[in-house]
Amino acid sequence: MNARSISRNALIFAAILLAQIAAAQTLPSAPAKTPSSQPSAGAYDWFAQAGWVCGVGASTSSIDTKPTAQCGGILSGPFFDFEAGAMGPLANGSAASGYLSTNLWIPLIPWQHLANPHGVPFAVGGYTHLFGTGNALDYGLAFAHPIDASHSIQFEVRDYWTFSDPHEHNIVFRVVWLTGLSD
């Protein structure tokens, strides 16, 4: 992979990411909750959340290291999420791989401070099936920042560690846009 194809892929990824963010901003938002004196935790004030996730990073193994990109959709509830999307290229030869993930997330601050208007750090971890590579343990850190009463933006770094031989690490810096879902 040469520098020209990497920069072309980066431009395509950036255009897709900007188009998805612009489209998300034009969608009708979830109904506003009644105002309270408590600060909002954004999408995390709702029982369930849905959104988009995109990121860039590197896929590395003893064979090769390649730049990688990831995009998908996410459905989340209290302390867990389900995610589906595509990631690629991968270091062990796959040009792209669909994936399914299930994860747990745990706030790194006391529960009563989750409505912090400045954001909340999380630890995340779970299982991912990469269709082009195999099974993976994914883990990382996230920082969720409330935008308004029903939206949050989350910044993450995750490592998808595959169990295939040779082992592969897919380290991705991700941006997640979440919307609270009404009951």
Question: Do 158 and 128 form a contact (C-beta atoms < 8 A)?
Answer: no
R_g of the chain computed on alpha carbons:
17
Element (H or E) spanning 169, and its range? strand 168-181
Tens-level pLDDT at each residue, the chain (183 residues): 554 555 455 556 655 655 565 555 554 555 555 544 456 778 877 889 999 999 999 988 888 888 999 999 999 988 899 999 999 887 776 788 899 999 999 999 887 777 777 888 999 999 999 887 788 999 999 999 999 888 999 999 999 998 877 788 989 999 999 999 987
Between CA 48 and CA 147 the distance in angstroms is 16
